[in-house]
Amino acid sequence: MQIRFVIPVILLVASSLANAQSAPAGKTPEQLAAELKWLKPGEVGRIGDKAEFKVQEGYSFLDNKDTDTFLKLNGNLPPGNAYTIASEKNRWFGVLSFSDDGYIKDDEKIDADALLKTLKERNVAGNEEKRKQGVPTLTLEGWYFAPRYDTESKRLEWGTRLRAQDNNQEVVNVSTKILGRSGYMNAVLVTEPATLDRDLADFKVALKNFDYVSGEKYSEWKQGDKVAAFGLGALVLGGAAAVATSKGGFKMVFLAIAAGAAALWGGFKKFFGRK
């Protein structure tokens, strides 16, 4: 199966699925997968000390330790600070991780055309570096949907369309950022292109069960709290990494791991046999 959905953040760095499936401690991948502690409806998954996910019927959750195992089984290096939510009926999963860059002011008007121009410029430079290293490239073609911010839920989301060099297949990146008092939550959906729109809608339903804990909500910001050095537009460009890039040096982050999605989805179908 050709997978065209790509994870748009650097928390998941692709390695080969074959290497990742060599299980530690003499256990098989199947045994490790069976040991994953998926939460049941009515239980609450804690996302560090920042947020929680209340598990409802049809969805489940893995803590950071089991998420590391899950991602290893699916061909990725463990980030150590990620959590998994998943749908039992629609066969997608999402990875959540928190960035403590500070409170992001949301009074900025988003200029989608200017952001796309910058992203394309970085994409060209990034592809030049990839060619030098013999790495397949991805060409950014445009928005799948332009950045949009919901002032009520404090969620910023956008999608991009790209073209893979090696097989000319279309790739879609979708990102969701949920703003909080001291930073933002990265919410990454992993699915296959044939069901992307349906699964994205279901993903949004699942995220209704996500919330920051008391003291970490966006509305609870107080004078003296850390404020991020960037706004909504820079968040689309890569957040703190985008700010660092603008001050010198080049760092392409959101297109870095095209191979990771195929490994994740292939392993997901094989190992997601929970009851």
In the chain, how many domains are there?
1
Are residues 199 and 176 in contact, defined by beta-carbon separation less than 8 angstroms?
Answer: no
Q: What is the pLDDT of residue 248?
A: 42
**Which residues of the chain are modeled with pLDDT < 50?**
1-22, 244-266, 273-275
Single-letter code of the amino acid located at 224: G
User: What does the mean pLDDT of the chain come to?
Assistant: 79
Q: What is the pLDDT of residue 163?
A: 87
Q: What is the pLDDT of residue 152?
A: 93
Tell me the backbone φ, ψ of residue 156, rounded to 5 degrees. Answer: -110, 130
Q: Locate all alpha helices (DSSP H) within the chain, ordered by sequence.
A: 17-20, 29-34, 64-73, 112-132, 196-207, 232-237, 240-246, 258-271
pLDDT in tens, 187-225: 988 887 788 899 999 999 999 999 999 999 999 999 999
Q: What is the pLDDT of residue 270?
A: 52
Q: What is the pLDDT of residue 66?
A: 93
* pTM given for the model: 0.79
CA dist 119 to 46, 138, 147, 160, Å? 34, 12, 13, 10
User: Residue 66's domain spans which residues?
Assistant: 5-271
Geometric angle at alpha carbon 255, from 23 and 109, rounded to 5°: 130
